[in-house]
Amino acid sequence: MNNSKFLDKISNLTRKLPEHRKLNQLYKHLNKIVLTLGQDANVISEMKDGTKMHVDLRTRTERVSFYTGEYDSFFISTIKSLFKVGSCFLDIGANIGFYSIAIANYIKEEGSNGKVISFEPFEGNYKTLSKNLKLNSLENYCLLNSYGLSDKSTETEITLREDFKHGSHTGNAAIKTSEKMDKGFKLSPIKLEILDEVWNKYFDDLGKIDIIKMDIEGHEDFCLKGGKTTIEKHRPAILMEVNKHYYQARDVELDSTFLKLIPKDYIIFRPIDLKWEPITSLNECSKIDNVFLVPIEKLDTDGYEIFKNND
């Protein structure tokens, strides 16, 4: 793991640039140059929140975090503003740990006994997630689980998608979706469990689940189905990705599938210009979007005014 002085100088400059999606192309070209010059792809990214992350510059999402020092800053800062320290945060689809590390570090800084519980089924991501916990001395604040969550306890395969095409051992992977969508991608064996079962067996004594982040590449409906009892009991706020490509590949109609899986008296919010706006249909989401599912009783608690002040 070696960050060259040249690479560090570049990242120090790029981190001063204003945030803009078009800059991702700049980072892509800069990255190609430094890798061509012989830079080790496996580096340590110093994040703006003070944490450090082992990242692979061959992976798009990890690459951007190195050149900006940030990853999903709006969503992570939102979670921090809402999270009740002393409770549990579930990171479902933890990848290499951008959310897990940020929230575990927040719990540590607050001096709380809360826990992050992370679920990551792909071995390459899980190993780096474990390394990142150790790098930040957060082992006591986060419980790692090397399986994914679904509506069945089973073994299956996960597709190693675009992030892996340049040789990375980490990145976005998706449980098999359809023959057409998965064509050309390598497969890796994984294990799946049911949230209702593992929570009762392993985690029930940890306290209340306050927030769940769920980003599992089109498998969110199965996860909600397998966690129905636990979610109804704890009534957490849920930050969930909505990636329409995966659902369209399975011929899943979003509203008829999800609205019956979301517990009673939850409101769906979607970020528009960094403000949370209520929506009544998931079809209002863009092709790749995120929504916050919020139980109405939380709207009158500290932090949740962000879902009301939309003027």
- DSSP states of 113-178: --EEEEE--SHHHHHHHHHHHHHTT-TTTEEEESSEEESS-EEEEEEE-GGGTTS-S-S-EEE---
Residues forming a β-bridge with 71: none
CA distance 208 to 86: 9
261's tokens: 């899986």
What's the farthest any 2 CA atoms get from each other in the chain? 56
CA distance 11 to 31: 10
Q: Which residue has the tokens 């994984």?
A: 190
Q: What are phi and psi of 114, to 5 degrees?
A: -70, 170
The domain spans of the chain are 5-68, 73-307
3 state SS of 201 = helix
Give the β-pairing of 42-46 and 237-243. Answer: unpaired
Superfamily of domain 73-307: Vaccinia Virus protein VP39 (3.40.50.150)
pLDDT per residue of the chain (311 residues) written in tens, 0 to 9: 567 888 989 999 999 998 888 899 999 999 999 999 999 999 999 999 999 999 999 999 899 999 999 999 999 999 999 999 899 999 999 999 999 999 999 999 999 889 999 999 999 999 999 999 999 999 999 999 999 999 999 999 999 999 998 899 999 999 999 988 999 999 999 999 999 999 999 999 999 999 999 999 999 999 999 999 999 999 999 999 999 999 999 999 999 999 999 999 999 999 999 999 999 999 999 999 999 999 999 999 999 999 986 65
Question: How would you classify residue 254: left for phi > 0, otherwise alpha for psi between -120 and 50, otherwise beta?
Answer: alpha
pLDDT of residue 126: 99
**C-alpha dist (Å) from residue 19 to 14, 67, 102:** 10, 11, 20
pLDDT of residue 169: 95
pLDDT of residue 311: 53
End-to-end CA distance of the chain: 48
Q: What are phi and psi of 194, to 5 degrees?
A: -105, 125
| Predicted model pTM | 0.96
- The candidate with the shortest Cα–Cα distance to 155, out of 123, 117, 121, 184, is 121
CA distance 61 to 174: 15
Q: Which residue has the tokens 């706006």?
A: 277
Question: How would you classify residue 207: left for phi > 0, otherwise alpha for psi between -120 and 50, otherwise beta?
Answer: left
